[in-house]
Amino acid sequence: MVTGSGYGTLIAAIGVGAALGPLALLRLIRNPRRPVFVLGPFALRGVVDLLIASVAVLPVAVVALVLYGVGTSTGEVTFNSMLQAETPEHSRSRIFATMGVLWQGGRLVSLGAGGLFADLYGITAVCYLGGELSYKCLVGVNPHQMDADSPLFGSKDWS
Q: pLDDT of 83-130, one tens digit each?
A: 888 889 999 999 999 988 998 999 899 999 999 999 999 989 999 998
Q: Contact 77/32 with Cβ under 8 angstroms?
A: yes
Report d(CA 158, CA 85) in Å as an integer. Answer: 12
Per-residue pLDDT reduced to its tens digit, 4-24:
778 889 999 999 999 999 888
> How much is the pLDDT for 77?
85
> How much is the pLDDT for 36?
73
Going by C-alpha positions, the residue among 28, 25, 108 that lies closest to residue 71 is 25
> How much is the pLDDT for 87?
87
End-to-end CA distance of the chain: 47
Report d(CA 37, CA 31) in Å as an integer. Answer: 9
Q: Contact 128/51 with Cβ under 8 angstroms?
A: no
> How much is the pLDDT for 132?
86
Per-residue pLDDT reduced to its tens digit, 31-87:
777 777 777 888 888 889 999 889 888 899 999 999 999 998 988 888 888 888 888
Q: Where are the domains of the chain?
A: 4-86+122-154
Report d(CA 146, CA 103) in Å as an integer. Answer: 23
Name the band, by pLDDT with cuts 50, 70 and 90, for residue 27. Answer: confident
Going by C-alpha positions, the residue among 149, 134, 113 that lies closest to residue 51 is 134
